[in-house]
Amino acid sequence: MNKHSISFKKRIAHGETLYGIFCSVASPINVEQLALAGYDFIIIDLEHTLFSTSQVESMILAARTMNLDVFVRVPLSANHLVLPLLDAGVTGIVFPRIENAQQAQEAVNYCHYMPLGQRGLNSTRLNRYGMDDLASFVEQAANETVVVAMIESLEGLEQLDEILKVEGIDIILEGAADLSQSMGMPWQTSHPKVKEKVQEMYIKTKNSQKHFCAIPRQPEDIAAWKQQSVQLFVLGDDRSIIRRAHQNHLNAFKDIS
């Protein structure tokens, strides 16, 4: 679901520029506020948080109520969560640290019904618990489920051409932070050598006719990506943005003499 009543994939196909954010505060109110702020999608982060499944479901329901596309970042090691998350109504799954085609295929298998994948079939929220025709729902899911592979290491970048050949991988999301670690320069995401590798990632993705999602750290970064026709952006993590907003709010009053 989304605010334009068309699927996330169709919005990309129609040429829209879409803005998202990592959602690391386990609150449906936070999700509502992100929707009201104007984000097109959120990525609930289960890689760097300790959310419970009930917390995540309440966040998914809040996103759906606000017509906000919702993804969840799930490591392959926690693949048992993928099926119930999809059944709960998420737009797609973001898989971090994809490093080869075998892992990419595993991601597709968890997300898609046969013949593309191996997702288990059951009545879900999205087909109104069996009220809608299940065969039609399977076809709809094939067209609308989004699988995102994060490339966060030199090994993943070296194997990216093979990863991109995997049918069912829709989007490549750059992970410059961990990529910088694998290059021996942790958190130097603006280092020319790191930026060169991220640019290489983009070119490979573009040449494959798949979609690239950037994580711009500065306004000038997003300008450069837009000049290259990138449509998808993740604008950081809500925790740091909330902290900065509170800090700026407090300082505005403290600075008055």
Q: Active-site residue among 4, 14, 48, 112?
A: 48
4 is catalytic: no
> How far is C-alpha 66 from the geometric centre of its chain's CA atoms?
18
> In 10 A of CB 118, how many CB atoms?
14
- How far apart CA 216 and CA 213 sit, in angstroms, is 10
Tally of residues, the chain: 257
- How far apart CA 47 and CA 78 sit, in angstroms, is 9
Of the candidates 247, 222, 248, which has an alpha carbon nearest to the alpha carbon of residue 235? Answer: 222
Amino acid found at 74? V
DSSP string across 80-95: GGHHHHHHHT-SEEEE
Active-site residues, by number, are 48
